[in-house]
Amino acid sequence: MNRTLFSLLGSIVLISSLNTAHADDQLVFAIAQEAYPPFSYKNGHGQWSGFDPELINALCRQMHSQCSLREMAWDGLIPALNSKQVDVVLNSMSITHERKQVVDFTQPYLQTPALWIAEKGVELVLTPAGLRGKSIGVQASTSHAAYIKANYRKESRIRYYNNQDDILADLRNGRIDVMLADQISVQPMLAEPDNSGLEGKGLAPSDPLFGEGIGIAVRKGNDDLREHLNQALDVLNSEGRIAALRGRYLNVPME
């Protein structure tokens, strides 16, 4: 979600450049370089697409701001934000207690459940005792990883990955027994031919470690920007534009 210097990254996308009274407002949004469809991915022209880039576009237009997009590794997003390489992190980041210690968040704009996935026909009891001795795959530096570490590390073997494609590949090849991932992101991937032997096994229960929903992160104390983003989110919600983006990209029912 957060940025690196122009000299270090070749992929910089101008999201919005509007000739308005606020045209001097310059915001740099960051996005994880690891694709995370349907939230963020590159289309056939090498441009960022998906729910998050389109939401960034809509917010920047609503705020009459000039915005650019920079990509970097997922686990570098918050460090980049706090080192002032970027101004905003909008990349499906869960609002968790741990993250709230180091950044400030807007109101949540999305709620997403966590889904267990394993091979079809495999019977699993998805409790710490039920997964005793099993290998669990999860994307590192996520709320899902925090949940697995807190609840399953004593009984199970945990493997951390950079992206969901790698987790699914190891699950298909029997290198792990089960994975936990964001339902909205992973559900379309289960419909792909390569993953035809996999299926969802059930949702993880609600837990504080999954956070309070997905929000937009800014640096601690940047209240003006946070409130500006909140006001823009309110308008987009009231006009049904966020709902329209959900309908276009997120085919899992929302809570």
Between CA 130 and CA 136, with CA 135 as vertex, the angle to 5 degrees is 85
Cα torsion angle, 206, 248, 14, 34, sign: positive
Task: Tell me what the mean pLDDT of segment 217-243 comes to.
Answer: 96
**Selection from 154, 153, 159 nearest residue 171 by Cα:** 159
Q: Do 174 and 196 meet the contact criterion of CB atoms below 8 Å apart? A: no
- Which residues, including other chains, have CB under 8 Å from residue 164's CB and lie 6 or more apart? 36, 139, 181, 185, 186, 189
| Residue 13 scores a pLDDT above 70 | no
Q: Residue 37: its pLDDT value, please?
A: 87
pTM to 2 decimals? 0.71
- As a whole number of angstroms, the distance between CA 144 and CA 182 comes to 8
Task: Tell me what the mean pLDDT of segment 66-86 comes to.
Answer: 95
Q: Residue 251: its pLDDT value, please?
A: 67
**Selection from 34, 44, 40 nearest residue 15 by Cα:** 40
Strand, coil or helix: 52 = helix
DSSP for residue 8: T
Instruction: Kindly indicate the confidence band of residue 239, based on its pLDDT and cuts at 50, 70 and 90.
Output: very high
- As a whole number of angstroms, the distance between CA 204 and CA 12 comes to 36
Residue keyed to tokens 């989110």: 233
Task: Tell me what the mean pLDDT of segment 120-142 comes to.
Answer: 96
φ, ψ for residue 161 (rounded to 5)? -130, 160
Strand, coil or helix: 160 = strand
Tokens of residue 65, six digits: 């701001």
- As a whole number of angstroms, the distance between CA 69 and CA 56 comes to 9
| Residue 83 scores a pLDDT above 70 | yes
